Structure 1
Amino acid sequence: MQWATLAAAALFAQNVAAQGTMLRFACSQLVVERTDPLVNPGMKYTPHLHQIVGGNSFNVTMDPNNDPATQSTCTSCSFLQDKSNYWTAVMFFKSKNGSYTRVPQVGNGGPQGKLINNGGLDIYYLPNGKMTAFKKGFRMLAGTASNTDPKKVKLSNICHRCWTSTSEANFVGAQPCSGSDTVEIPSDPKCKMIRQTIIFPACWDGKNLDSPDHQSHVAYGNQGGASGGGACPSTHPVKLPQIMYELMWNVTNFADKSQWPTDGSNPFVYSMNLGGPAAHGDYVFGWEGDSLQKAMDNNCNLNVDCPKAGLKAQQPAQYNACTKKQQAVEQVDGWLQALPMGEPAIKA
């Protein structure tokens, strides 16, 4: 490993140490389908495709009166007590013949160690001082699925990083959403991996568990990036754990530019048929009882058992086995004639 990479890894580790400890764990794919109970409750074949992880009580409506912590019988996340649901759009590769295929995903490495995922993403709960855990029924989203303007995205909250290493275990760069990271999806054939980071607001108004736009009841603090959020504004005074999604898209097999679109457009798009400015993530809280509050209060760390908070870390075989059949049934694997938008998708 080069000295620059070592220094970057050390810097990230120092930043984490300054925050205290953090939860960092894997979540494998529960299901990939066109549903979105936050933005399009009750709808099947929503405008774009999502990958969903977490508790298996996930459904088309997600009635806020039904607690995922009690409704779910398993979770695709490594902590047994976390029946929350987390979801994002899906990245596709568009070939020059106009067909699309999903970009595969892997777990992340980095200075805190390897995480094992069957698709899905890695979840962080980052601390910064005394925090209040989310309440039953809490939900929110980060980002805007229809946005095409990178200037409307704060780079310190939503970003992408080009990894030139063939192994995601070889840490590249410094803190998330810093340095050479971009709002746009990188389109350089030197990229072997593309890391997507979505950082959620960590300040709450203390009253509303949701809002019509799923964003107004929360706000970002005065510190961007993976910092824990910093101080909260007076309008949203309650400090929450800062949630961060981390996704590793493996683009190694798409480096041949002769297969890229001939019009010069980025071959990598999200399932809205849009680029990086439209990246977004959804969150529905579902931790059992007061387990998340205890985890924060007792400085539970990374993805290991934390007896003081009653947290039990499952083995990969356990959380990988928690899956769910599609509710909006359609083909999402292999080469597709078009993105899953409108009518059910058809294989190429």
Structure 2
Amino acid sequence: MQLTSLAAVALLARNAAAQNMLRFACSQLTVDRVDPIVNPGMLFTPHLHQIVGGNSFNITMDPETHDLAGQSTCTSCTFKEDKSNYWTAVMFFQHKNGSFHRVPQVGNGGPQGQLINDGGLDVYYIPSGRTTAFKKGFRMIAGNAANTDPSKVSKGNICHRCWTSTNDNNFVGGAPCSGSDTVEIPANPSCKMIRQTIIFPTCWDGKNLDSPDHQSHVAYSGVGATGGGACPSSHPVKLPQVMYELMWNVSTFSDKSQWPTTGNPFVYSMNIGGAAAHGDYVFGWEGNTLQKAMDSGCNLNRDCAAAGIHAQTPAEYNACKKPQMAREEVDGWLKALPMGSMAVKA
């Protein structure tokens, strides 16, 4: 069912206030072929990522020695106390001539109206009851970059939604990852934007800051953007629910005559579809500010004196950038996806 814009905004605003969730913009820090969680120390990793957050991000991010909060001099996210890093794969459009173009990202409005992003994504921290903030050195992954089977993905936690307008404030549909949302990337010329949602697990084993697969130390306790339910005994510690929202503006690629004759014209940078959508998270909030924010009911993207968190202006967080470490051209038309060999312009 499609709600009217005003009704949906009002409903979401009420829900946001009731949940006291943080919801804020993060602009692009860099678009780079690096991955310090899965491929630490490697330049030109198997696929391209877009990264936001603290500018101490690097190719190793050794959890024993790397202090994101202490070593970052700026963050591309709204709250200046949040030096965490958040990243995802990049969406590309494939032209029928075989060339590829990176799909631009824009902000996502919703209950707050427009969130201003220079690329990047929007981040949520959703509490449900008493939550324990992440510890220094904590990291995790949601999704599987090699998966090609949509049936292996929980549609309630990783999904895509077709937006028939380029107005991100014209909210459509219900809660994230519900209704007609799909695991696969929509391939419909009526879609002017595609919203990607990635919801992370909310339960932690209470011991390990990471695990060999970067997932076993955490567990889901339900589906959807609810903050999660009761945690299992194997993972008894309730975490704030982290959720990413990305708005891919596909409006310039809606001419179906330019699409390949077979297959989805939209793919992620692994050259596969929505079943491989994934997100990476490295915690980097200063001190105990995130714990205080959760305990104090801090809300949306506003200053919150009780937690000592301060919202930057868009000009401030948009200015936080980091040069590519794996130097290559990733914008404009490319002969092939940047996988293995360096990217080459078409």
SS across alignment from 2:316 = helix
**Paired residues of 1:11 and 1:174 also in contact (CA < 8 A):** no
For residues 73-128 of structure 1, give each alpha carbon's deviation from its aligned partner in whole angstroms, at most 9, with x where no partner exists.
10000100000000000000000000000001100011232110000000000010
Supply the AA of the counterpart residue of 2:329: Q
Matched, 1:258 2:292: no
State the match for 1:109 in structure 2.
Answer: 109
Aligned-pair CA distance for 1:6: 4.0
Deviations 1:207-229 (A, max 9, x none): 000000000000001x3100001
User: Identity over aligned residues, as a percent?
Assistant: 76
In structure 1, what is the Cα distance between the partners aligned to 2:180 and 2:11?
A: 16
- Decide whether the 8 Å contact of 1:5 with 1:173 is kept in 2: no
Separation in 2, partners of 1:34, 1:313: 30
What residue is the counterpart of 2:189 in the other structure? 189
Query: For the Cα contact (< 8 Å) 2:3–2:172, is it kept in 1?
Result: no
* Counterparts of residues 303-342 of structure 1 (less than 5 Å): 303-342=301-340
Within 5 Å, give how 1:186-265 maps onto structure 2. Answer: 186-221=186-221, 223-262=222-261, 264-265=262-263
Aligned equivalents of 1:78, 1:109: Cα separation in 2: 14
Q: Distance in 2 between matches of 1:97 and 1:170?
A: 34
SS of the residue 2:110 aligns to: coil
Q: 1:217-272 CA deviation, whole Å, 9 max, x = no partner?
A: 00001x3100001111111010000000000000111110000002x211000000
C-alpha separation between the residues in 1 aligned to 2:187 and 2:291?
A: 41
**Post-superposition shift, 1:67?**
1.2
- How far is the alpha carbon of 1:9 from its aligned partner? 3.8
State how far apart, in whole Å, the 2-side matches of 1:343 and 1:204 are. Answer: 38
* Partner of residue 35, structure 1: 34
1:247-305 Cα shifts (integer Å, max 9, x gaps): 0000111110000002x211000000010000000000000000000100111111111
Tell whether the 8 Å contact from 1:291 to 1:310 is kept in structure 2 after alignment.
yes
Deviations 1:165-195 (A, max 9, x none): 2311111111000011000000000001100
Aligned mates of 1:163, 1:346 — CA distance in 2 = 31
The equivalent of 1:131 in structure 2 is 131
What SS does the corresponding residue of 2:294 show, helix, strand or coil? helix
Unaligned runs of 5+ in 2: none
d(CA) in 1 for partners of 2:21 and 2:275? 28
Q: 2:274 aligns with which of 249, 269, 276?
A: 276
TM-score between both structures, scaled by the size of structure 2: 0.97
Aligned-residue offset at 1:15: 3.8
| CA distance in structure 2 between the aligned counterparts of 1:13 and 1:317, rounded to whole angstroms | 25
Residues 22-81 of structure 1 deviation map (CA, whole Å, 9 limit, x = unaligned): 100100011001000000001000000000000000000001021100010100001000
Q: Match for residue 59 of structure 2?
A: 60
AA aligned to 1:248 is M
Q: 1-side partners of 2:78 and 2:16: how far apart?
A: 21
Cα pair 2:3 2:174 within 8 Å, conserved = no
Task: Please tell me whether residue 298 in structure 1 is matched to residue 277 in structure 2.
Answer: no
User: Does the CA contact (< 8 Å) of 2:3 and 2:173 recur in 1?
Assistant: no
Q: What is the DSSP-based 3-state SS (H/G/I as helix, E as strand, rest coil) of the residue aligned with 1:111?
A: helix
Q: TM-score, normalised by structure 1?
A: 0.97
Report the secondary structure of 2:329's partner residue.
coil
Q: 1:329, 1:233 → 2: CA distance?
A: 44
User: Which residue is equivalent to 1:148?
Assistant: 148
TM-superposed CA distance for 1:13, in Å, is 3.8
Q: Distance in 2 between matches of 1:153 and 1:16?
A: 26
Q: Secondary structure at the match of 1:309?
A: coil
4+ residue segments displaced more than 2 Å: 2-18
The aligned amino acid for 2:252 is N
The alpha-carbon distance between structure 1 residues 340 and 3, as it changes in their structure 2 partners (threshold 3 A), is closer
Letter in 2 for 1:329: R
